[in-house]
């Protein structure tokens, strides 16, 4: 079994050491590098080709969100202490594949890395709740509780078993754009992963049941 290659990006050495210890203890996960800033993470990603990058948001010498925008095609999961609406939305719009908080339990963190490596969207429950709450708090004229046509289209392709990269090619958009649509769909549906989003969309009638024509 090939190990999932992970790059850590955090400006605190103690945090990186703790994350390395937790993840290296998993038989199917290998930490292949550490970066202390966003720009350093971009350079190391180009050299090490990790499957997943765990990226802090606010780091001296380079913002994590700026780095995410420069890492198109790479799976980046935010791992931070900051859970403000502004931070979450900036990361989502930059193309992050997920958003986790640093109090995430070890087992959940490892499972989230595995899910992200499979192309799934991972959101801490509190983050999913904040995104959903923000959308519900928007003025009615600007708010859409229902999935957009493109979000529905993306979820339909997820239901067919396509990866984010395959969906991007099918829709002629970047993989980062696909991730953004998935994150927004997850927030609207109040779930934290692509599989759960498909299930919930089918339950609510936003997607047809398998084998049913629209």
Where, residue-wise, is CATH 3.40.50.2300 in the chain?
4-128
What pLDDT shows up at residue 134? 61
What CATH number has the domain spanning 4-128? 3.40.50.2300
Q: What does the pLDDT look like over 41-82, one tens digit per residue?
A: 999 999 999 999 999 998 988 888 889 888 877 899 999 998
The long-range contacts involving 78-83, CB below 8 angstroms and separated by at least 24 positions, are 79/10, 79/19, 79/54, 79/55, 79/104, 79/109, 80/56, 82/57, 82/58, 83/124, 83/126, 83/127, 83/130
pTM over 0.95: no
What CATH number has the domain spanning 131-204? 1.10.10.10
Q: What does the pLDDT look like over 81-137, one tens digit per residue?
A: 987 878 887 888 788 888 999 999 999 999 999 999 988 888 888 787 776 666 556
């Amino acid at each position: 079994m090939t190990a999932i290659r992970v790059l850590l990006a955090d400006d605190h050495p103690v945090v990186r050491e703790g994350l390395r210890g937790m993840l290296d203890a998993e038989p199917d996960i290998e930490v292949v590098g550490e970066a202390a800033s966003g720009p350093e993470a971009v350079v190391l990603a180009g050299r090490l080709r990790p499957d997943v990058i765990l990226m802090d948001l606010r780091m001296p010498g380079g913002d994590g969100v700026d780095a995410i925008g420069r890492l198109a095609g790479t799976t980046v999961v935010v791992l931070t202490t900051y859970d403000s609406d502004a931070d979450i939305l900036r990361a989502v719009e930059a193309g992050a594949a997920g958003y986790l908080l640093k109090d995430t339990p070890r087992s959940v963190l490892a499972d989230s890395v595995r899910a992200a490596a499979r192309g799934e969207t991972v959101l801490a429950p509190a983050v999913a709740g904040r995104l959903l709450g923000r959308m519900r708090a928007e003025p009615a004229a600007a708010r859409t509780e229902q999935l957009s046509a493109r979000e529905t289209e993306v979820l339909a392709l997820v239901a067919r078993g396509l990866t984010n990269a395959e969906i991007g090619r099918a829709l002629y958009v970047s993989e980062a754009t696909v991730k953004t649509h998935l994150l927004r769909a997850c927030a609207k549906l109040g779930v934290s992963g692509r599989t759960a989003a498909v299930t919930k969309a089918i339950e609510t009638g936003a997607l047809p049941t398998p084998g049913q024509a629209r």
